[in-house]
Every structure is written in structure tokens, then in C-alpha cells.
Structure 1
Amino acid sequence: MKKIIGIVGAGNVGLSLAEALARKELDVLILSDHYLGPMPFVRRQEARAFLERCTAAIICVKDRDIREIAALLASADAEISRKPFLHTAGGLDSSALSSLRDRGASVGVMHPIQSFPMPDPKLIEGIYMGVSGDKEAVNLAEEIARALGCQIIKVKNHALYHAACVMSAGFIATLLRLAGKVLSEASDGSWRALLPLAKGTLRNVEAMGPEKATTGPQVRGDNETVRAHAEALRVFDPGLAMLYNLLSAEMTEKKEKKTLDPLLLEVLACPKCKGELEYRKDEDALICHGCRLRFRIEDGIPVMLIEEAEKF
């Protein structure tokens, strides 16, 4: 039987994947109500024909729509027993396709660790992919990864895995935006002036790894400069001062037990009443007397979640 890989959805990820597979001379069929391009496609009302023609399918839609699409495919009057289905959402495990699994399909996840601002098959070639799920589905993911020159990592916890992906993408962009905000306050420059510095850092990370590529006054032990930064940020934006101190503590990587930075204490407030907090060093805790809540401190970092606080 001729192998045809079905692509459900014609967004940036779906089209990038479909075009990348087509470039490798693999047959693809797109299921979408909106696609009008040159590759073979069918509409949603033809879901049964889509499933009958495809030997496997990859669901490339928004996270919130995956279960609905899986249910739509599962309700089509087509034989899908042992047929592999994958979805491409990093934050969801294979249970998002449980309606297909209930009908005997093999289901799993194949998440490209990449951002897709536009459809581009080059974006999906030679990257890493996070994979999990049933055996046949994982085998399909590994086969596709080999065809596209990608490497596989096996995912055990999708929430943590996806958090790591967000930290390495959206957080970097957000940090650059915030740094640009600070720079604009201090000068007539914008975030673009910081871009060569950021690019150079990423090149160093690629060449040496993140630990050796970490530089700055925190690493050099220039505490006076670090405190001057923190104080200036506290005046400008207390939230940024808190972020700066938390990241500074992580950069120093002190082996001894970390204590709460006094500058961080100055900008902290009770998340419930916004009132002042008492720092009890001997208890490793912050106390809100108004709310009668105790917030623990772990390795120098306060856990400021109301649901995690201890009542007294």
C-alpha cells in the first residue's frame, strides 16, 4: 500500500511540515477548509475519504482544537485500528488523542522544537523533536525525523518539557523587550542596540554551552556593580528589580545555601493584600501579619503563591 501522510491543518506548522515532507518525495494529503495551495487537499466534510487514503495522520492545529479535531476524525466512518496519529503540541501528551485511541488507533506526539512565524519547510529540517506516545506512533515520528534530518528527544513530562521550550524562546524575546525598555529609559537607544550583544551570546552558547557562555558582573564577583544595577532598577521598575535579582542569584551559582537578597525584600509584597512582609531568616520564610500567611523561601527564592502559603 502506498504510504500517504495526512496533515490536518494548514497553519504555519502544518504547511511547513507538509512542504518539508513533499521535498523528501513523501506523499502528503492536507485536510483543511481553508487551504488553496498546490498540494493535494480535502475538506473537513471529506474526513472519511481522508482517513481511507492516508496511512498515517499528523494533527497540526492550535492546542485548544486538538481534542475536537481528534473527535471529528474518530467519528468518521473509517477503519483506523492500529493507524498512527500524531499531534504537534508540545504542552499536551498523547491523551489529547484519546478519542482516536479508543477506536484502536496508535497515538502520540511529535513536537518540533522551533518557532514558525510563517510557513517555511527549512524551519523544520535538522531541528530537534519532542516525541512520546504509543509504539507505532513513535515509530512514525522517528521515521519522519530521519527523513527530515531531525533528532529525537523522548518526553516524559509534557508540562515541564514545554515550559523549557517557552523559556528558551518566548522568555528570550521578552527579556530583550524588557532590556530595551530599560535602555530607552537610560538613553536614546532601543532594543535593536542590544541585538548584536544577544546574538553574540547565543553564538557563544552554541559554541561553549550555556554555563561557559554566561558573563557579567555577577560571574566576575563585582557585587558593587550588581547592587548599583538592582538599586537603579528598583527606582525605575520594582518588578524588573525583582527579576534582575532572581536571575543574578541563578548566575552566581553559589554552592552555599542562598539567602534572600535584601534588595529583593524591598520590592516584595504580600500577593494577597499587597502589604509589607517580615523576613524571618531563621525560618527561611516571609510573614504577612495582616493575612496571617507564611511564604517559604527555597534556596534564596521566595515562593509567593497564595495557595502554597501556610496559614498561622
Structure 2
Amino acid sequence: MILMKPTYSIIGPGRLGRALARAIAASGARVAAIGSRRRVRLRGLSAPITLDPATAASAADVVLITTGDSDITTVVDRILSSRNSLDGRVFLHCSGILTSDVLEPLRSRGASIGSLHPLQTFPLPPPPPAIFHRTTFYFEGDTKARSAARRLVKRLGSSLHLLRPGDKILYHAAAVMVSNYQVAIFDGALKLLGRCGFSRADGRKMLSPLAARTTKNLTARDPSSALTGPIARGDLEIVRMHVGQIRKRSPDLLPLYCQLGLQAVAVARCRGRNRRLDEIARTLRGAAG
């Protein structure tokens, strides 16, 4: 049975842990304890901080493990070594790639387990609790843990979707591509502008509106409709000019440009077969080596 107003503990007050702790407290629920490897100051939170994850786990009905992926098993071992009763408690880790199997030893001691991952990026300082209003959580685990996760997500003003355990790695790879690799692409574009004499600060000002508009377009339509530029138009000569200048002035970025260009060709082909796209693809493959 899940309590109508469960208490929560956070183990791992990093970027996500801090954001969740603040959002849970702002929702009116009680954060009973925060488990940390070292003493930290968390503004706006009155929850006691403990260096012992077992103490944090025993203080609440629902325990959120928000450590790095490689630390989750260590946390589990520390909790198990305490010999505290885990009956009725729910443990949710927030890794985007690991399944709830990593928490299986806790289930053998009476706990319910699951993985609950918010598909969002969390900067420092922690964003306001409203960030979760635009965030979807993805869950896999047992039935009781799912009920607890659904209740928490609803409290945060978010939505919950179920994920099959076997899909988590590809799910995480997709998130990395759209978030982390977008940063890498942006950095590559800044380097090209740097070859033109622009500072990185000026480059960010130049490119940020374009990046924001592209993201907005992608939220409203399919990539095949959002794609613009020379490949969408089948403009082979411009692609050749790009390749020539990048090879001459920033050759380290040529493989990235070509690989992304080939993916853009695949997107553009969704609109229909175009002989110019075949020529562009041959040019990009040849330039990439």
C-alpha cells in the first residue's frame, strides 16, 4: 500500500538530486533526508543531510537514488549492509541507461524497485521547480514502484511514460544525440566562425537565435518538414563550396560536417527521390574519406 502523502529521501545531491529535492519540497511533500558523500549546503531545504545512505533510506517511504550510474551499486551495498528493514519502501534510481535490475538486491529484502528518468538536462545552479512542468519521466520497474513514481510525477506537474527495460540503452542514446551532441555541433560551428575572426561570445550571439528557431520548428513538425538549407534544396554547388573551405581552413571538422550532411540527405529524401541528393551524398562520402 502506497501512502497518500509519502515522504521522500534523495541520495546524491548533484544537479538532478538538488532539482528534485527543491521541486518535491515546493510541491508540499516532505523531503525527509538527503544522503551525500560530503557535507553540502542546500539553500531553501531544511532536510537533514547524512553521509550514510542507509540512514537516508530509512527516513522515507520513497528513496530516489540520483548518484552517477557507477555509484548506484555502492549505494545499494551500503543500504544492505545496515540490516535495516526495507519492507514497504520504494527505491527509484534516476539513471537514463541502467534498468531497475541494479536495485534487485533491495527487492530481496522487501523493497519495491524501479528506474525513473526525467528526459531533461539540469544545469547549475538548479533551475526552478517549474522545469518539471515541461519534463516527461520514463519508468520501468515493478507495479508498486510504478504507482509511487506516477504519484511523484503528478505532484511535480510532469507526465509519466513506461519504457521497456530492453529499450533503455537506445532511449538514452537518443537523448544523448539531441542534447549532448547538439552541444558538440554548436561548438564545431563556433570554431568555424572563429576561423572567420569572430570571438566565441560573438559566435554564441550569432548562432543562438538560429538554434532556438530550429528547435522550435522541430517541436511543431517532422524533421523532413523542418529541414532547410542547401541539402533540403538539393544545392550541390554550395555543399561543394562548404567542403572545400572546411577542408582548407578547418579540416578537423570535415568528417563531422560530412556525416551530418549524409544524415540530412536521408531526411531530405523523405520528401521524395531527388537525383541531386544522390550527387550530394557521393560528394560527402568522398570528402569524408
Q: What range describes the TM-score normalised by the shorter chain of this pair?
A: 0.7 to 0.9
- Pairing 1:110-129 to 2, within 5 Å after superposition: 110-118=116-124, 119-120=126-127, 121-129=129-137
- Whose helix proportion is higher, 1 or 2? 2
TM-score w.r.t. the length of structure 2 is 0.83
Partner of 1:310 in structure 2?
none
Partner of 1:153 in structure 2?
161
Match of 2:9 among 6, 9, 24: 6
Do the aligned residues in 2 keep the contact of 1:9 with 1:61 (CA within 8 Å)?
yes
Question: Does 2:200 align with 1:169?
Answer: no
Change (3 A) 1:51 1:245: closer
Q: What per-residue deviation string (whole Å, max 9, x for no partner) do you get for residues 81-130 of structure 1?
A: 34210011102111222221232322111111111112232333331112
- Pairing 1:249-288 to 2, within 5 Å after superposition: 249-253=262-266, 254=269, 261-268=282-289
Q: What per-residue deviation string (whole Å, max 9, x for no partner) do you get for residues 147-195 of structure 1?
A: 1111223222221111111111111111111011011113435431211
Do the aligned residues in 2 keep the contact of 1:20 with 1:125 (CA within 8 Å)?
no
Tell me how far 1:43 sits from its aligned partner. 1.4
- Whose strand proportion is higher, 1 or 2? 1
Q: What per-residue deviation string (whole Å, max 9, x for no partner) do you get for residues 204-227 of structure 1?
A: 222334332211110011111112
Change (3 A) 1:244 1:18: same
Query: What 5-or-longer segments of structure 1 have no aligned partner?
Result: 269-312
Match of 2:98 among 92, 97, 102: 92
What percent of counterpart residues are identical? 31
AA matched with 2:48: F
Tell me how far 1:262 sits from its aligned partner. 4.2
TM-score w.r.t. the length of structure 1 is 0.78
CA distance in 1, matches of 2:214, 2:228: 9
Match of 2:217 among 204, 216, 219: 204
CA distance in 1, matches of 2:148, 2:187: 39
Change (3 A) 1:258 1:158: farther
Do the aligned residues in 2 keep the contact of 1:106 with 1:136 (CA within 8 Å)?
yes
Query: What 5-or-longer segments of structure 2 have no aligned partner?
Result: none
AA matched with 1:24: S
Look up the SS of the partner of 2:130 in the other structure.
helix
- Pairing 1:34-53 to 2, within 5 Å after superposition: 34-37=39-42, 38-45=45-52, 47-48=54-55, 50-53=56-59
Change (3 A) 1:263 1:206: closer
C-alpha RMSD of the superposition: 2.3
